């Protein structure tokens, strides 16, 4: 989790605590009195409940999500890839799907083609408030259980999220440890998670 996100969570927590104290004051309860001290556990429970609900589903809701902003990219994305092998100068092109499983605290990316499946093992989804941009970076491997094995094909993808009217699109580049580089162009096609490349392709129709 980014430092800025943690700072925002702290700011909101302080604001909620102050709001709770003001509500007690309006009810005639001085939080700093003997009677008020008994209410502190209720205040803490209220703040904790807010964050439990927000982390569970509140971050996806319109307007409410801006309390601690994180764009919802959960679901299946489908599009095209083009890759150049610098050893042979051969260009490869084809269709690709990426399946993103996202919660407020973590993210997981699986990429699917007709012949390969890649699993992410290091992910970061960040929002730059200055440029109002979202970037997804992830390391991936063809091995789900031993991703750091140098004998296995792996790489890095850097994607920028764009909004085109009501559509969400990812554009970006990827690199592999087999001396190749390529680009991706993807559109979100379903909030559901595809279990295979063929299922993802059906979502497009």
**pLDDT tens-digit map of 135-189:** 999 999 987 666 666 677 889 999 999 987 678 999 999 999 888 999 999 999 9
Given this model, what pLDDT does residue 1 score?
A: 67
* Residue-range domain boundaries for the chain: 3-68, 75-204
pLDDT at 152 (0 to 100): 78
Ranges under pLDDT 70 in the chain: 1, 144-150, 165
Supply the pLDDT for residue 91.
94
Class of domain 75-204: mainly beta
143-153 burial, b if ≥16 CB within 10 A, otherwise e? beeebeeeeee
pLDDT of residue 145: 66
pLDDT at 141: 92
- List, in order, residues 6 or more apart from 84 with CB less than 8 Å away: 90, 91, 92, 180, 181, 182
Closest CA to 156 of 173, 135, 134, 144: 173
DSSP state of 194: P
User: Are 108 and 87 within 8 A, CB to CB?
Assistant: no
Q: 137, 140, 129: which is closest to 70 by C-alpha?
A: 129
**Global confidence as pTM:** 0.86
């Amino acid at each position: 989790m980014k430092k800025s996100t943690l700072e925002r969570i702290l700011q909101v927590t302080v604001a909620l605590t102050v709001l709770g104290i003001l509500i007690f004051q309006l009810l005639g309860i001085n939080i700093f009195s003997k009677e008020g001290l008994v209410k502190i556990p209720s205040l803490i429970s209220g703040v904790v409940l807010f964050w439990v609900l927000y982390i569970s589903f509140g971050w996806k809701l319109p307007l409410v999500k801006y309390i601690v902003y994180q764009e919802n990219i959960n679901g299946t994305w489908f599009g095209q890839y083009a890759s150049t092998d610098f050893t042979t100068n051969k260009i490869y092109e084809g269709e690709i799907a990426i399946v993103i499983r996202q919660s407020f605290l973590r993210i997981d990316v699986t990429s699917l083609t007709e012949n390969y499946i890649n699993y992410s093992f290091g992910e970061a989804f960040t929002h730059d408030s200055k440029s109002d941009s979202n970037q997804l970076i992830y390391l991936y491997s063809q091995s789900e259980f031993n991703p750091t094995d140098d004998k296995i094909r792996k790489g890095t993808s850097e994607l920028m999220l764009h909004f085109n009217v009501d559509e969400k699109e990812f554009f970006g580049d990827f690199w592999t440890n087999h001396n190749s580089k390529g680009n991706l162009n993807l559109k979100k096609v379903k909030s559901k998670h595809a279990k295979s490349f063929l299922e993802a392709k059906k979502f497009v129709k």
